[in-house]
Structure 1
Amino acid sequence: MTRPDILCIGSVLWDIIGRTDTSLRARGDVAGHITRLPGGVALNIAMTLARFGLRPAVLSAIGADTEGTELLAACEALGVETRFALRTDLPTDRYMAIEDTTGLVAAIADAHSLEAAGASILEPLSDGRLGTASAPWTGPIAVDGNLTEALLAEIAASPLFRAADLRIAPASPGKAERLIPVMRHPGATLYVNRQEAGLIAGCTPTTAAEAAQALIAAGAARALVTDGAHPAADAARGQPLLTCAARPVQARRITGAGDTFMATHLFAETRGHDRTEALTRAQAAAAAYVAFEDFAP
C-alpha cells in the first residue's frame, strides 16, 4: 500500500458554522447560513494538502457512530487517507462557530473523543505500519493543539518523533499554551497568530515580527506568526527574520484560514521553495481563502 506523504495528527470532526452578513454585536436572531463540513485542524490541513496533490493520512479518533462513518466517507472522497484513524465508542467530535461581518463571534470545540483516546491514536507510528521506535517516521508530521497537554509533552520526548519534520498548529488561543513542550522539539516549526504567540511567550507583541522573535527567545526552533490583515513573519534560530504583507481582501469566512496558511507553507517547502517564497505563497493562499477565491499553491 502507498506510503502517505505527510501525517496529520489531531482533530478530525464536523465543523458546524453559522455565518451572517450583518453584525451580531447589537442583535440576537439574524438571517444567515449554517453549514456542516468536514473539519478540525488536522483535517483542514490534510484536505488542503490533498487538493495540492499530496497523499496525507490522518491519525485521530473518530466515533463508530453514523456521523463518524459519514465523516470517514467524506475524508476519503476528498483524498485524505483514514485507514490509520482510531474508531471509538464515543460520539464523533464536533466544532460549532458563529461568524459575522467582524469575524469570529463565538465557538465551542467538542473534542472529547480525541482527548479520551490519548496516545492510542499514535499506535501506527510504533507498531510498524508507519514506523517503530528504532525506525521512526522520517517525513513531515502536522500536529494540532487539540491533543491534550500530556500527549503533546509525550510527543516532544518520544523517539517515535525524533526524525520527523514537525509542524505544530494551535487549535485556539485557549489551547495555545499546550504547545510549549512540543515547540521546543529541535525539528519543530510552530504556526500561530499574534495573540497565540503572546500567550505562549508570556508577552503582548504588537506585530507578528515581534511575536515570532519572542517565540524564538522562549525556546522555539522556528516560528511563523500571522496577524490577520497585517504582515506575517517567519523567525528561525540563526536565520534572518522574514516578513510578508497580507493582500487586502473582503473577509467572507474566518474558520480555517490559519490551517490554509500552514498547509500552503508546508507544501511550498516540500517542493523546494525557500523561506521567502514559501511565506509569500502562504499569505496569498490565506487571503484567497478568507475572500472565497480560488487559489493554487
Structure 2
Amino acid sequence: MAPDILCIGSVLWDIIGRSPTSMRLGSDVPGRITRLPGGVAMNIAMTLRRFGMTPALLTAVGRDAEGDELIAACDRLGLGTDTVYRSDDLPTDRYMAIEGANGLVAAIADAHSLEAAGDKILRPLADGRLGTEVAPWSGPIALDGNLTEGLLAEIAVSPLFLRADLRVAPASPGKAGRLLPLLNHPSATLYVNLEEANILARSEAATAAEAAQALLARGAGRVLVTNGGAPAAEGRRGQGVITGQPPQVLVTRVTGAGDTFMAAHLVAERRGADRQSALDEALRAAATYVSGDIGS
C-alpha cells in the first residue's frame, strides 16, 4: 500500500524501566522493565497508524537479530519498511529510560547507527520510490531531531523537501539545538516542549504561550509548545498564539507522549479541524497515552 506520510528518524528498541515509586539519584526500587519498538519516528508512525494513516519509515536498522526482530514488529503494525536502510555493519539502535512516579528520572539514547548512516536513509526520496529532485514528495513528513545537525541543515535547503508539509520534533532537550537550521523553513511546523522551545529561541519563557511567541520572533513560521499538565500553545506567524489546557489524568508513563501529541495534531488537521480543535484533540490524545489507557 502506498504511504500517505513519511516518518524520518529514529526507529529502535525502547528499554523502559518503570516504578510506581518516586525516585532520585541512586534509587534501587522494584518495578517493571519492558522492551518495545520505539524511537521518535517509530512512536509517531505507530500513532498515525492507529488513526488510520499509512506511514512509511525512513531510518537505519542493522542487519542483526535485533534489527530483523524490529522490522518484523514494524511489519505486523502495518508500517512501511521497504524504505528502511538496512546496514550490514551498523548495529540496531536502542534507547533506555527509567521512569518513576515523579516522571522521567534518566534516559540514554544510543542512536549512533542512525547518525552514521547519514543521508543514506533519504535515498527513497531521490531515487523515484517516493520522489525525485524534479518531482519531490508533496505530502506530510514527520522528521525527528535524532539526525545529525549536518543532515538536518542539508534537509533545510534540499529540493527533496521543497513541497513537503514538514512536521519537526526534537528527540530531546539535549538535541533541540540541532533543529536551528529548520527554524526558518517555510513549510516547517515545530513541535517542542517548554525547555526545548527556550533552547531554540534562546529565551527564558515561563509559559508555553510566551515560548511560542519567542520562537515566532526568532523567525519560526509555526510552532506548538507543550508544558506537561500546564497549558500548551500553538503559534503562527501573523496569526498570533492560541492556548489549550491538557486534561488532568494520572500519569503512568511519559516516554512517547510528545510523539503522540504531534501525530494526533497532524491527523486532526488532515480531518479538517480548525486551530483550536486540532490543539485540543492532540492534548486529549497525549493525556490518554500518558494515563496508559491505550497500548504502546
Give me the TM-score of the superposition, normalised by structure 1.
0.97
Contact 1:192 / 1:226 at 8 angstroms: preserved in 2? yes
Q: Residue in 2 aligned with 1:161?
A: 161
Post-superposition Cα deviations, 1:28-68, rounded to whole Å, max 9, x if no partner, equal: 32100000000000010000001111100010000000000
Shift of 1:240: 3.0
In structure 2, how many angstroms separate the alpha carbons of the residues matched to 1:98 and 1:274?
Answer: 37
Measured against aligned partners, the alpha-carbon deviations of 1:78-97 in whole angstroms (never above 9, x if no partner) come to 11111100001211000000
| 2:270 aligned partner | 270
Moved over 3 A (4+): none
Measured in 2, the distance between the counterparts of 1:183 and 1:125 equals 22
Q: What 5-or-longer segments of structure 2 have no aligned partner?
A: none
**C-alpha distance in 2 between matches for 1:182 and 1:232:** 21
Residue type of the alignment partner of 1:66:
A
* TM superposition shift of 1:148: 0.2
Deviates further, 267-276 or 22-31: 22-31
User: Cα offset for 1:219?
Assistant: 1.3
**Corresponding position of 1:33:** 32
Taking only aligned residues, the RMSD between alpha carbons, in angstroms, comes to: 1.0
* Aligned length in residues: 294
Alignment of 1:87 onto 2:86? yes
Match of 2:255 in 1: 255
Query: What SS does the corresponding residue of 1:278 show, helix, strand or coil?
Result: helix
- State, as a whole percentage, how many aligned pairs show the same letter: 66
- Cα distance in structure 2, aligned partners of 1:246 and 1:188: 24
Q: How far did residue 204 of structure 1 move?
A: 1.0
| Most deviating of 177-186 and 223-232 | 177-186
Tell me the residue number matched to 1:16.
Answer: 15
Aligned pairs for 1:51-130 within 5 A? 51-88=50-87, 89-130=89-130
Does the residue aligned with 1:146 lie in a helix, a strand or coil? coil
Q: Using the alignment, how far apart are the partners of 1:288 and 1:234 within structure 2?
A: 20
Unaligned runs of 5+ in 1: none
- Which string of whole-angstrom CA distances, capped at 9 and with x for unpartnered residues, describes residues 145-204 of structure 1? 000000000000000000000000000000001001112110000000000000011011
Query: How far has the Cα of 1:26 moved from its partner?
Result: 6.5
TM-score of the superposed pair, with normalisation by structure 2: 0.98
Q: Are positions 1:7 and 2:6 aligned together?
A: yes
Shift of 1:3: 2.0
Which residue does the alignment assign to 1:219?
Answer: 219
Q: What letter is aligned with 2:141?
A: I
